[in-house]
Structure 1
């Protein structure tokens, strides 16, 4: 079981929205906060990015560089930090599916970016996402993260020269980009780190236990049976898991069971009794009580509200 993919899938609430931004100096965009997580990929040229709601210093970006904004906080993209920013107007956006288009600026040096937003459930984010920095900067480096670099090159080629199949290829590449970005960040973390999700996902004891819970959340897991998966004593496993992940094993298991149930309620037509069984609850009553305690709504109400808002 790929824990990273599962954690992200549990939070996704819709397809990503993307815009190709082509600017010629002088240009600067003030982008307001959005729900979910944002990203920017420099396809050609160079630009600067600086968040408006954090103390992060302006970052100079070049071809192949990637910025990931964890909470979709407001920020500015510009040809230079001194250029006064403007808020893009709806009529400036053109283009058709799978992405929009925005052209701005004067007649100076050109830059081209792919900008987008992933719709994630920000009310109950997976703890993996909460541990990420507010802004992740992944500069293009020769030989570093070749899969991410290849995805960016493919995106650039499809956007520069759309052909048969591009409307299917581009959304799939944008969708995959989120996993490539987070994989690259995790792999960049020091191997000496002993706490946090980056360490947990590569730890030879904690990672198998996490995978087991994600693979079969309905199983009657105990701390001892998870410790057996990890190859550690019960006490050693419980201590190591809590230190790395930030909560005890069974607390994480409960969280994951209810997260799994919420996803099923949003996306599937299973009877609530079957959702309860898949989430590891022996009765619909016990499930409903646990779900309402976590989400503030009964499972049926949650399903109706989620679908009405979609």
Structure 2
């Protein structure tokens, strides 16, 4: 598994909140749900995305905006439109006067708003409910707002398919929508990582380094190996001191610190598997025993692996915020 695959394997929605919102201009929503990641795209009409930390961006039909939590943001038909509805935790919606309109503004299957007529603004949104569904390494790297403009043809088959499936109530529909949201999210991430000026994390950019790149691939492909800086340097064909110095300079941390973080990231994903045990996960990611993994996991995550498996989602805090900036790809 290379660094890119490891990063893009992170998004795994589980019962994500997906909604088609229909509004008559002027309209403005304030989103304070503290969700780790939300995706927004317009089907009809334009909208302004106004993050609390980052520059406002106009999105048009086919553009996809990715907003990183837990910071609040506003979406409106125009920057100066007063907020009418505030979306809070658990997707409860209240007017600025405090009236709960979560149910009263429902318009059908996964559809909500104040209008269904022509000329309305139509927005699709998808929200990941917990940090564990996205991956802490990814959350820590993402800017506050990333916007991928639509392509020259103005058509995104994933957006079209998501819009089509959101109105259905079929067996397994939740799983279909989760996977479509993941695919759309990954497509934006790939575009973000591919753009040199977009601020991709140092450890991702380091893949192209002739010394650090091979070392990273070895760590990602075989995290359970008993690596030392010396054995890693031997495999890469450089001196121990040379690898340690270059790795820290390019990635921002020493090789073994990077490996420790990567092992715990993998462990967190593996622990979510129903048949996994702490002992088997420990062996897979390079810990000598279940006790060793438990100690490291609790030191970093603040809970034991067993607590994480049974109720960790509710206790997990978001990692430190990524860069407070707005990135518009291709512009």
Structure 2 residue aligned with 1:57 = 55
SS of residue paired to 2:131: coil
Alignment of 1:219-238 (within 5 A): 219-228=225-234, 230=236, 232-238=238-244
Aligned length: 300
Structure 1 residue aligned with 2:45 = 45
* C-alpha contact (below 8 Å) 2:18/2:127 kept by paired residues: yes
Alignment of 1:151-162 (within 5 A): 151-158=158-165
Q: Distance in 1 between matches of 2:115 and 2:301?
A: 46
Give TM-score scaled by structure 1 length.
0.80
**1:189 corresponds to 2:189:** no
Match of 2:293 among 279, 283, 287: 287
* C-alpha contact (below 8 Å) 1:194/1:244 kept by paired residues: no
Range with greater deviation from structure 2 (113-122 or 20-29): 113-122
Q: Distance in 2 between matches of 1:22 and 1:81?
A: 18
SS of residue paired to 2:43: strand
Range with greater deviation from structure 2 (133-142 or 103-112): 103-112
Q: What RMSD over aligned residues (CA atoms) do the two structures have, in Å?
A: 3.6
Alignment of 1:143-222 (within 5 A): 149-158=156-165, 167=173, 169-190=176-197, 196-203=202-209, 205-222=211-228
Task: In structure 2, list runs of 5 or more residues that go unmatched.
Answer: 86-92, 94-100, 317-331
* C-alpha contact (below 8 Å) 1:22/1:103 kept by paired residues: yes
Task: In structure 1, list runs of 5 or more residues that go unmatched.
Answer: none
The alpha carbon displacement at 1:157 in A equals: 4.9
SS of residue paired to 1:221: coil
Structure 2 residue aligned with 1:261 = 267
Q: Distance in 1 between matches of 2:63 and 2:302?
A: 41
Give TM-score scaled by structure 2 length.
0.75
